[in-house]
Amino acid sequence: MNVPVLEVRHLAIRFGGLRAVDDISLSVARNRITTIIGPNGAGKSTLFNLICGALRPQGGAVFIEGVDLTGAPPNRMHAAGLARSFQITNLFFELSVAENLRLAAQRLEPLANLLLPTNRSRTALARSAELMERFGLSAKAAYPVGKLSHGEQRRLEFAVALASRPKVLLLDEPTQGMSHGETEDTAALIRSLTKDVTVLLIEHDIGLVMSLSDHVFVMHQGQKIAEGSPLEVRANPTVQVAYFGQA
């Protein structure tokens, strides 16, 4: 019984003449950190969009725990245990930090609790408090998200994705715009998750990629150009050409 928790086969999508994602196949190992890297425009975020249901693939398939969920909408993917964070912060800016997290954690409650007073959703509220603690946002619990600093928003973006206890977490450049210290904290957090969560990560910070990843997947112009351990990938001449123009 060794079904990969997430697998995509021959995924493809084009926008007009541009093949944004071109025949990508990837098998994500359970409870490991797999990082997708590649120069700008490689199609990494588009791949995320295809996996989580934001975009419908024009070719290929997406399997979660062996179940074919190709073309399912984002809420179905979420129900299957997939959650994602966004590269451009995509939170509820007018609402408070606590409310954002509670909304995200509400899925932990039975459906009927939607119609009961909110303070009966104890699990969701507890989860929200727990995450605020873990991500250092408790002091700003009642602040509208729009008033947070960029780094705090990125941390919240991560926390919101984590709130519903997903099986697979897709993190799209979680440390983008963060200070060095914040980046370190985030890296430690990601590593601490792998007991129960499988992480698929898009990252540009090479140091982070090297130190965090169990497996690296390199994309360039919509296609896969290399795959392997961090050291293997770094030494790979094709990867060097893609990034630097020369080996």
Contact 3, 65 (CB under 8 A): yes
Nearer to other proteins, 18 or 231 (CB): 18
Please tell me whether residue 90 binds other proteins under the rule CB under 8 A: yes
73 forms part of the interface with other proteins (CB under 8 A): yes
Task: Closer to other proteins by CB, 136 or 237: give it.
Answer: 136
Give 84 or 154: the residue with its C-beta nearer to other proteins: 84
| Sequential DSSP letters for the chain | ----SEEEEEEEEEETTEEEEEEEEEEEPTTSEEEEE-STTSSHHHHHHHHHTSS--SEEEEEETTEE-TT--HHHHHHTTEEE--SS--S-TTSBHHHHHHHHHGGGS-GGGGGS-GGG-HHHHHHHHHHHHHTT-GGGTTSBGGGS-HHHHHHHHHHHHHTT--SEEEEESTTTT--HHHHHHHHHHHHHHTTT-EEEEE---HHHHHHH-SEEEEEETTEEEEEE-HHHHHH-HHHHHHHHS--
Asked whether position 238 contacts other proteins by CB under 8 A, the answer is no
Closest alpha carbon to 223 in 17, 37, 18, 20: 20
Q: Which stretch binds other proteins (CB under 8 A): 55-63, 111-119, 172-180, 205-213?
A: 111-119
Choose between 43 and 53: whose C-beta lies nearer to other proteins: 53
Interface segment toward other proteins; rule CB under 8 A; list 17-25, 96-104, 192-200, 237-245: 96-104
Kindly identify the residues of this chain, within the stretch 14-53, that bind other proteins according to CB under 8 A: 52-53
For other proteins, the binding residue among 33, 43, 45, 102 (CB under 8 A) is 102
Which residue from 3, 116, 126, 241 is in contact with other proteins, where contact means CB under 8 A?
Answer: 116
Residue 136 interacts with other proteins (CB under 8 A): yes or no: no
**Residue 53: which region, alpha, beta or left (left: phi > 0; alpha: psi -120 to 50)?**
left
Give the binding-site size for other proteins (rule: CB under 8 A): 39
114 binds other proteins, rule: CB under 8 A: yes
Per CB under 8 A, the segment of 17-25, 57-65, 77-85, 172-180 that binds other proteins is: 77-85
Is 211 a residue that touches other proteins (CB under 8 A)?
A: no
Q: Does 88 bind other proteins (CB under 8 A)?
A: no
Which of 31, 74, 130, 240 contacts other proteins by CB under 8 A?
A: 74
Distance CA 131, CA 101 (A): 8
Residues near other proteins (CB under 8 A) are: 52-54, 73-75, 78-79, 83-84, 90-96, 98-99, 102-104, 106-107, 109, 113-119, 121, 124-125, 142, 144, 160, 164
